[in-house]
Structure 1
Amino acid sequence: MFRPALIRPLPVTLPPFPGECESSYWGRLALANHVPLARLRSPSRWLVSRLTSLDILCILSVQSRQHLARTISDLQADDLRPNLPAIPDDHVLRWACRRCVVARTGATFPAQVWAPIHDNVCIRHKLWVGQHVHAPEQQLDLSRTPDVVRAQQRYWRLRRHHGPALIDICEDVTARLWAGLAHRHYRLVHRAEILHDLVRVKGPEVEPDMKAPWLTAAGFPERVALIHMFTSSHWRKLAMHDDFYVSVDSIAKFHQRFPTESPLRGTSRIWLTKTVKASAAEIEYRLGNPEGIATLIAN
């Protein structure tokens, strides 16, 4: 029986990028072959294909079912999915490192991937790919700020050494403290100016919201250092101590690690002392330690 061939291999085939989402791979195949995405997914207006997305992609891309199902995280493959890991809860959809895409697929078409939310830097290509990056062209080159790259490696070591549970708690609890320090002109040395210049050279047409990645990247080493500081159980207990001099000594150590452009005075100084103590107490509380519960109740 004759059956018309509705779907054939594309002239230009591309391998999927590891962790790529299904819609991204469809889009890259369409761009590479200059075919409208709707036409690629439904080649005929009259005949409906009974093939699954996985089957169609196998034909179009000349890739094996196993390779596609293993590489494309959200691809529906009922016959293969039981043997494949699900997308972890701490993964988010974002743009893959634009240089990694070229190196692995041989094409410049950008790919969206399911990646760990904590991976902000591509170590291999020294690009900021994480927070506030909404397009591949916003991935900042960190070659002139190697300490930002090292901060990502340090963050990974912290998660391995202390465990993700403690690091997630410290990162979440210290977010308010970090925002307050930035508002009170916390010193980011020269990194902010360097990364801002990289954004500015793109031209005056760059919108303000596109400058968010440079500011986040500029403070990333200090953000990791702040998380690291609060992982110390000994330091948290000093910050929570009822003895005034012990508490003041812990704040003095905090200032040594995190200097501001000018000394904090008045309400800002009181804010820092209270926020550091409250942050340490909340971490203890979320870890289930009675000291944190008592401190939170007392305050």
Structure 2
Amino acid sequence: MTAILRTPVRQLPITVPPVRRETTDSFLRRLAIVNHLEPDDVADAVAVTRRKSVAGVKRTYSAAKIARVTGHSVESLAKALPELARPNQRFPLNHVLRACPRCCRRHRGGTVRIHPEPHQHVCLRHNLWLGSLGPESSGWIQEEGPVDISALPVIRAAQRRHHRLIRHHGQAAATTAVLTAVHAWQRGEDRLGRRQWERIDILRPGTERVSSNDPITHAVCYPDIITIASVLASPFWQNTATDPRTETTAVAEILRRIHEREMPDPYDNTGATIWPVIRDWARGLQRDRRHRDPDRYWDEVLAKLL
């Protein structure tokens, strides 16, 4: 790691406003471009440390120096730039996305790159899949988005349902449900069934093969993942799944919602694929309730058996 010299900085003649959740590197690059400067020179001028890594040069920045260069207050910069607001937090590089180009059309300096919210995958205003690899994916994006999904309103609707899950059940419960749904969906050897390939053919006609790190793969699976999560987050279905006599009905409800208004597919094995994960999830709920309030848990069990 190399310490940066404490060189004096002054405000640049042209400034640009930061975009909400923009990466600091993206903001400084745009600032350098509009002032006809080298991005590395501007970044080094406001950096505290600088080191080389496999992904390139990694810097830590001084919020006070950036404020002096841009003319913006430290508070307004920290409100827009997550890396300045939480300097000790690690922001994975593989989660950085290109912001919706239509939303950022008025922002000068080139492409805007952001740290999206964990649950934000679609620009609802412009019907664009932002190019992420789906909820909690750890892979590296192969083909950068965004992907136009205006021909598939079901994906946009899934993003709205994801937001409703958070509003109704809270961030923690919704995140747990989505993670369990992703785990269930990824158990299958081939996550792309007939329904997903039909969606791919609409978004990218003529496609015969897609990589698991292609954003379109995750976009076409996203509605089914949120459908599973909507059942898992529901207190009613949690109670149903924790009853040994009715635990299989949660899977039946998931399949009913996934295949609603569709012709049955004799080769579809979604139920067999997701059942082990749903069963483990239900048993985990049983253990939690038994440990949290054992007297109430056993009273409920006896009441169901009598």
- Normalising by structure 1, we get a TM-score of 0.68
Counterpart in the other structure of 1:183: 190
| TM-align CA RMSD | 4.0
> CA 1:220/1:182 → structure 2, altered by over 3 Å: closer, same or farther?
farther
Counterpart in the other structure of 1:257: 257
| Mapped partners of 1:130, 1:119: distance in 2 | 11
Counterpart in the other structure of 1:147: 154
Which 5+ residue runs of structure 1 have no aligned equivalent?
Answer: 44-51, 76-84, 201-206, 292-299
Equivalent residues in 2 for 1:260-299, closer than 5 Å: 261-263=265-267, 272-286=274-288, 288=292
The one-letter amino acid paired with 1:261 is D
Q: 2:66 aligns with which of 57, 64, 67?
A: 57
Residue range with higher mean Cα deviation, 271-280 or 117-126: 271-280
| Mapped partners of 1:68, 1:33: distance in 2 | 19
* 1:225 and 2:230 aligned: no
Tell me how far 1:216 sits from its aligned partner: 0.7
* 1:101 and 2:110 aligned: no
Tell me how far 1:269 sits from its aligned partner: 6.4
| Mapped partners of 2:39, 2:20: distance in 1 | 21
| Mapped partners of 1:98, 1:164: distance in 2 | 28
> CA 1:71/1:264 → structure 2, altered by over 3 Å: closer, same or farther?
closer
Which 5+ residue runs of structure 2 have no aligned equivalent?
Answer: 1-6, 46-60, 134-139, 298-306
Q: 2:201 aligns with which of 190, 193, 203?
A: 193
| Mapped partners of 1:218, 1:11: distance in 2 | 46
> CA 1:210/1:10 → structure 2, altered by over 3 Å: closer, same or farther?
farther
> CA 1:269/1:126 → structure 2, altered by over 3 Å: closer, same or farther?
closer
Equivalent residues in 2 for 1:122-141, closer than 5 Å: 122-129=123-130, 131-132=132-133, 134=141, 137-141=144-148
Tell me how far 1:155 sits from its aligned partner: 0.9
User: Which deviations, in whole Å up to 9, do the C-alpha atoms of 1:116-161 show, x marking residues without a partner?
Assistant: 2111112122221263284995111121112211211111111111
- 1:98 touches 1:108 (CA, 8 Å); kept in 2? no
Aligned length: 260
- 1:151 touches 1:221 (CA, 8 Å); kept in 2? yes
Which has the larger helix fraction? Answer: 1
- 2:184 touches 2:273 (CA, 8 Å); kept in 1? no
| Mapped partners of 2:275, 2:64: distance in 1 | 61
User: Which deviations, in whole Å up to 9, do the C-alpha atoms of 1:242-286 show, x marking residues without a partner?
Assistant: 44xx45655444432234732557xx8655544432232224445
Tell me how far 1:15 sits from its aligned partner: 1.4
Q: 2:163 aligns with which of 143, 146, 156?
A: 156
Equivalent residues in 2 for 1:27-42, closer than 5 Å: 27-41=29-43
Tell me how far 1:212 sits from its aligned partner: 1.7
- Identity score, percent: 23
